[in-house]
Amino acid sequence: MKKLLVLASLALICMSLNYTKNGVGLNVSVQNPAPCNSCTGRIICISSGGSGYYSWSKYSGRTFQGSNVFLQLCSGYYYIQTIDNTGQRSPIAKTRVGCLQ
């Protein structure tokens, strides 16, 4: 039982990054996948400042979604950005989803 708990804890390695631009803040938290050949990564975004509602992008602001959570991510780099309802954008956060080997 204890071994299973330790392995589950290892799969939840997180990193948190903070960015602000044009008064719009972005905090990005990454949960790494395990093992490396699975696409179980997760990025959670918290936005602040700006005005009204936010949308989030994992592709440098090319397309946005209404959810602040990106699921089923494979290992690699994602370029996270948030936009508020007036069009103000946060900086792009180059974010790496890694894997446990």
* 8-22, 47-61, 78-92: segment of lowest average pLDDT: 8-22
* Tens-place pLDDT, residues 27-84: 898 887 767 888 989 999 999 999 989 999 999 999 999 999 999 999 899 999 999 9
- Arch. (CATH architecture) of 2-97: Sandwich (2.60)
| Average pLDDT estimate for 14-34 | 79
pTM, whole model, 2 decimals? 0.79
DSSP result, 73-88: EPSEEEEEEEEETTS-
* 7-11, 19-23, 33-37, 91-95: segment of lowest average pLDDT: 7-11
End-to-end CA distance of the chain: 22
Task: Please state, in angstroms and rounded to a whole number, the distance separating the CA atoms of residues 45 and 42.
Answer: 10
